[in-house]
Structure 1
Amino acid sequence: MGTSTLRIVHVVSSLNGGGMEHFVLRLAEAQRRHGHDASILALRGGPLADLARQRALPATVLGGRLPARVAHAALAFARARPHVIHAHNPTALHYATVGKLLTRARLVFTDHAQTRGIIRVPSRFEWRATDAVVGCSQDTADKSGAVGVAGNISVIHNGIDITPARRTREEVRAELGFGDDPPPAASPEPAGPSGGALVGIMPAAFHPVKAHDVLLRALARLRDRGVEVTVLIVGDGDERDRIHGLARELGIHGKEARFLGFRKDVPDLLLAADFFVLPSRDEGLPLAVLEAMARSLPVVVTPVGGVPEVVRSEEHGLLVPVDDPDALAAAIERLARDPALRRRLGEAGHARVRDDFSFEKMTRKYEQLYLGLE
């Protein structure tokens, strides 16, 4: 591709508040800072549409039923005249393929591991139309063949660009009803919410793959053992009602499990937390883990997808088996009773992300990929 200034259209299935959608907004914003004309095409709207407007990111939402959506997408691609169409999940690839047929743009697909367990698998025709496939981790690239990808698959690890918090830790914890700090030392009975509770955070869309149910069962076990920990559960999605119902059934809704819904102030909430937890059953390379580590939070995660490429257990965080609430509860209890462990893991995780997973490095790799397409 001969031009160094590119017109890029990123295609996503929605502007809901998941990690992948946040990633696309940040990537488009970074590419515009680098002088490219980057825009977003979404099949459906969502809370991030307002955020795109605030950041002056051109974003088109198709909406409507299938025939009208396809026609609207065709018109949007014709107006944008992109050099590169970058699809970020299999549903988006369907529409991105239409764009390529109309404009002869180069088509890039990033597998965020959303091809497994959540949504549709692309057709052979769509894969043949794709000029480059990128895995967000080596694990994702290794598994891409299982969903029909043929040929070479590049690996570009997700990177993180830290969004500064707007409020102090003390302000956010006071708003949530927590003391300023967690217990200063190991104790048989950690303090409750009014006196420095240990506060965790899990920002993730409500999908079965994220395993909110495992977290809730772990929190019930901690309550039964007298370990007072509260986890802020941030996000929305199809499983919301079922997960809320399970929390009520376990008797932890509103205390051990605090459901905050979709929030635009996740950086503030991360600053207020003492640890991060994500017991996923599958992943690509979750941005939420990188964001937490970048803010020096110790992480409790499962060894799925690209997570072990970032987190070495006992060095950068604690790895626990998939679908094991007892192991998850034990890991969280370790953090609750060992401030030195929290501090050591948090500092090591921060250094890991700072040195190896910067957003700027990732953005430049995508730019090189685009420019190298013929």
Structure 2
Amino acid sequence: MISVCHVITDTNFGGAGRVLLNYCKTYNRADFRLSVVLPRGSELLEPLRQTDVELIEADGLYDRSYSREDVRNLAVIFRQHVFQLIHAHGALSARLAARKCGIPVIYTRHSVFDPPRRATRFPIRQIQGFFNNRYADGIIAVSPAAKEILAATGSDPRKIRVIYNGVPPLEPGPGVYRARFSWGPKDLVLGIVARLEEVKGHHDLLNALALLPEPIKLLIAGTGAQEAALKAQCRALQLEKRVVFCGFVQDVAGLMNSLDVQINASYGTEATSMALLEGFSLGIPAVVTDFGGNPYVVESGVNGLVVPKRDPHAMARAIERLWEEPGLRKQLGAGARAAYAQRFRAEMMTRQTEEYYREVLKQYG
């Protein structure tokens, strides 16, 4: 029995938390014993309580990668328990504490963003590379794009293993949002599931929608700092009757079953979108920008269409093509379902992660 402790510092229930939760639901209980250290009062606590993993609430940690206090507190926790491996979800404090206690450590890079140029040059590249190489026995990148950035900023590529995020399949069912707004079979319903932040590209998507025919509708799921600005843009573009702001959506299946096409318009941060994978499980094709991990998930012409980032006209042309060609939409939907089955199931992510655990422990001696 291998005892693994995950450390996550997020107080919100974001992408890293969803990846961890999916792992906790599908891990090999015959070979592994799991614990999770997380901030006291984190939003992730309640979902994790529905699993059988040991939960350790810690003071501090709150949404920060490093503090001396966190290193000290985590070292105490690690010494009080018999952990054979630490898995840090970004948290540098956990990596330093693991080293302090002589425990092998893996960390996952969940994000992809364009690093500043100075981060890829001397001496910042060497400093970052030192910390990543010295304080990790293995690194998981959730996308080849994440691995490329890690290598460009100094991490040893030989230490990096690409393991895509995996999700449980959504259940097919009624499209509750289509019914709620009386959208019929002649309407093409788009959906974007993302934080309402500048870099997620919602403004570009609204500009694209303004170029498209009236039967094309849009559901926007999520909350964030850009909500007021996006609603103002809708009014300015006279899109109020075609766009619905859904806020935070708990019934993800109900939302996804309402969609014909999913959109990802990111241009500043995107690794392996969990929402895209959930849509794939239902056979929903996607139109995405060519940023970050998107092109590694969506193969243009196979399970969706890829367009240049920050190009509303290109986005509009791709969406209009899927509206005008239902046969193509059906074909891409079948490709999306096949991609999910072959690459993005939660069980696949779990199996690959546990294989990597064993490799790292074997190398550690």
Q: State the TM-score bracket (shorter-chain normalisation).
A: 0.7 to 0.9
Alignment partner for residue 101 of structure 2, among 100, 103, 114? 103
Alignment partner for residue 275 of structure 1, among 248, 253, 261? 261
CA distance in 1, matches of 2:103, 2:27: 17
Q: 1:233 to 1:10 in 2, by over 3 A?
A: farther
CA distance in 2, matches of 1:251, 1:267: 29
Query: Deviations along 1:235-292, whole A, 9 cap, x unmatched?
Result: 2344444444444444435x43322222222122112211100011143222222221
Per the normalisation by structure 2, the TM-score is 0.82
* More moved, 67-76 vs 321-330: 67-76
**Structure 1 position 220, deviation (Å):** 2.6
Alignment partner for residue 141 of structure 2, among 118, 127, 135? 135
Alignment partner for residue 261 of structure 1, among 229, 240, 247? 247
Counterpart of 2:247, as a letter, is: G
Q: Does the CA-based 8 Å contact 1:234-1:262 persist in structure 2?
A: yes
Matches within 5 A, 1:149-228: 149-165=155-171, 168-171=173-176, 173-174=178-179, 176-179=180-183, 181-183=184-186, 197-222=187-212, 226-228=213-215
Alignment partner for residue 352 of structure 2, among 344, 357, 365? 365
Q: Counterpart of 1:318 in 2: which secondary structure?
A: strand
Per the normalisation by structure 1, the TM-score is 0.80
Q: Does the CA-based 8 Å contact 1:283-1:305 persist in structure 2?
A: yes
**Structure 1 position 199, deviation (Å):** 1.7
Q: 1:18 to 1:232 in 2, by over 3 A?
A: farther
Identify unmatched segments of 5+ residues in structure 2: none
CA distance in 2, matches of 1:238, 1:9: 34
The Cα RMSD (Å) is: 3.0
**Structure 1 position 62, deviation (Å):** 4.0
Query: Deviations along 1:154-198, whole A, 9 cap, x unmatched?
Result: 333314332443x83144533x3234x421xxxxxxxxxxxxx32
Matched residue, 1:186: none
CA distance in 2, matches of 1:78, 1:108: 18
Counterpart of 1:82, as a letter, is: F
Counterpart of 1:30, as a letter, is: T
Alignment partner for residue 29 of structure 1, among 25, 32, 35? 25
Q: Does the CA-based 8 Å contact 1:78-1:102 persist in structure 2?
A: no
Matched residue, 1:194: none
Q: Does the CA-based 8 Å contact 2:112-2:293 persist in structure 1?
A: no
Q: Counterpart of 2:210 in 1: which secondary structure?
A: helix
Q: Counterpart of 1:169 in 2: which secondary structure?
A: coil
Matches within 5 A, 1:1-374: 5-31=1-27, 33=29, 35-43=31-39, 47-62=43-58, 64=60, 69-70=70-71, 72-89=73-90, 92=91, 94-114=92-112, 116=114, 123=128, 124-165=130-171, 168-171=173-176, 173-174=178-179, 176-179=180-183, 181-183=184-186, 197-222=187-212, 226-253=213-240, 255-281=241-267, 282-373=269-360, 374=364
Report the count of equivalent residues.
346
Q: 1:242 to 1:78 in 2, by over 3 A?
A: farther
Identify unmatched segments of 5+ residues in structure 1: 184-196
Q: Does the CA-based 8 Å contact 2:35-2:53 persist in structure 1?
A: yes
Task: Quote the sequence identity (%).
Answer: 29
